[in-house]
Amino acid sequence: MRKVRELHLPIRAPCLRRGDVLFWNAWTIHGSLDSQDPRHSRASVTCHAIADSHRFLSLQTRIVRMKLTRINGVNVFCPKDLALPRNRAILHIESHYPRAFYWSKRTAIRWMMRLKRNTAAPEGALLTSTAGRAR
């Protein structure tokens, strides 16, 4: 938010009602306003549509290996599958301790980004995938 304000970028907060759907481009800076009152939480479903010939890029910096499940002829990646105890525990912490959760998440992302900058390949270096194809 600091950078958005420094650059005087407009902030839009659409008023969504139950059943509304919102689509945006992956390059759109997006988030939500604080909603830390458990009585007024929201549920959401996030979908990233990616061609089978492409890979999933997380935080615009790291390729994530996707464990896909085929459902009705479509490959589906469920990174927050609540059938897994680990993901249920994370959701519990996020739901019951949102300030601590999001502070920890922001701190971890900042740390990862600093680490990424410090270990970046030299400019002009060719990046290759695990299959050896240039990307």
One digit per residue, pLDDT tens: the chain, 135 residues?
788 888 888 888 788 787 888 888 777 777 766 666 666 666 677 777 777 777 777 766 677 777 788 888 888 888 788 888 999 999 899 888 988 999 998 899 888 888 877 776 555 444 444 444 444
Give the span between the Cα atoms of 82 and 35, in whole angstroms: 22
pTM of the full predicted structure?
A: 0.47
pLDDT of residue 130: 43
Nearest to 81 by CA among 105, 112, 72, 71: 71
Give the span between the Cα atoms of 101 and 113, in whole angstroms: 18
CA torsion through residues 61, 115, 126, 63, sign = negative
